[in-house]
Amino acid sequence: MGTLNAISLNTGEYAWKIPLGEYPELAAQQLAHTGSENYGGPNVTAGGVVFIGATNFERKFHAFESRTGKLLWEKTLPYSGNATPITYEVDGRQFVVIAAGGGRNRPGTPQRSGGVYVAFSVSGARFF
């Protein structure tokens, strides 16, 4: 089971630990939030948001609240985002970008031989 973990640097203990990703076959059988293989790391912003793709089979990109692990939003990518996202600002607007190429997909799932970059504009919020 794949998990996303936050560890307190003051205590060395888990602040929170949640399943990350799910297998579509299990979700179809009402077995959600199982966790799955993950390839790629998170980007944690000073504003308290954790951005991560990494979920290999469901192809989702997530934003979590860094203090609690609460899911803020998620979007399905065209291919799995097996990469660590970046965030940047242009003219006061923040963007978060992830490469989504599906490079670690299992046979029979969407895959692409080139890179696809997916950018999200984080409207009305600043996470730096």
Which segments of the chain are extended strands (E)?
3-7, 14-19, 43-44, 49-52, 60-65, 71-76, 86-90, 93-99, 117-121
φ, ψ dihedrals at 24, nearest 5°: -55, -35
C-alpha–C-alpha distance, residues 95 and 127, integer Å: 10
Q: What is the pLDDT of residue 110?
A: 52
Q: Of 11, 62, 25, nearest to 41 (Cα)?
A: 62
**Domain at 3-121: CATH code:** 2.40.128
pLDDT band at 125 (very low <50, low <70, confident <90, very high): very low
Single out the residue of 36, 110, 121 nearest to residue 79, CA to CA: 110
Least-confidence region, from 35-44, 87-96, 116-125: 116-125
Calculate the average pLDDT of the chain: 83
Answer yes or no: is pLDDT of 116 > 70.
no
- pLDDT tier for residue 124 given thresholds of 50, 70 and 90: very low
- Ranking 18-22, 74-78, 100-104, 117-121 by mean pLDDT, the lowest is 117-121
**pLDDT tens track for 46-90:** 889 999 998 888 889 999 999 999 999 999 888 888 889 999 888
Q: How confident is the model at residue 128 (pLDDT cuts 50, 70, 90)?
A: very low
